[in-house]
Amino acid sequence: MSYIQYGNRNINFQIVRSNRRKTVGIYIDPRRGVVVRCPQYLRVDEIQGIVRKRAQWIIEKQEIIKKHSQLNPFKEFVNGEAFPYHGRQYRLKVRIIKDSGGVVLIMELSGLIGR
């Protein structure tokens, strides 16, 4: 994991190198953070310079993702979890059925399946 200092913030990023790649791409992933995909031959200081040029854009995108994740937290597939569908909220119902082949897990959104 590499990083640059931008103002009073550190921007951490992961470098993914490829022999086939000809350009540099910067991706902001909600789970992985900042990912820089680049050609194999680029030096780390060159990559840091590219990230530094795009630092303001990276920070803006990170803020958008942070706000979005607060509004829409990641869902867990547990009994009673609510999922939106066509403007309505449906509760997840988890049923475990034992059969001769082992255990079968069935998940359904109550009020949606079986109509």
Whether residues 58 and 37 fall in one domain:
yes
Q: Given this model, what pLDDT does residue 42 score?
A: 97
Of 64, 41, 50, which Cα lies nearest the Cα of 11? Answer: 50
Q: Are residues 90 and 104 in the same domain?
A: yes
Neighbours of 58 (CB within 10 A): 21
Q: Are 23 and 61 contained in the same domain?
A: yes
Under 8 Å between Cβ of 38 and 17:
yes
What is the count of structural domains for the chain?
A: 2
The pLDDT value given to residue 14? 97
Range of the domain at 94: 75-115
On whether both 40 and 79 belong to a single domain, the answer is no
pLDDT digits (tens, 9 = 90+) for 32-73: 899 999 999 999 999 999 999 999 999 999 999 888 877 666
38 & 58 share domain: yes
Q: Which long-range contacts (CB under 8 A, 24 or more apart) does 29-37 make?
A: 30/65, 30/68, 30/69, 34/58, 34/62
Span 87-112, pLDDT tens digits:
888 888 777 777 766 666 666 666 65
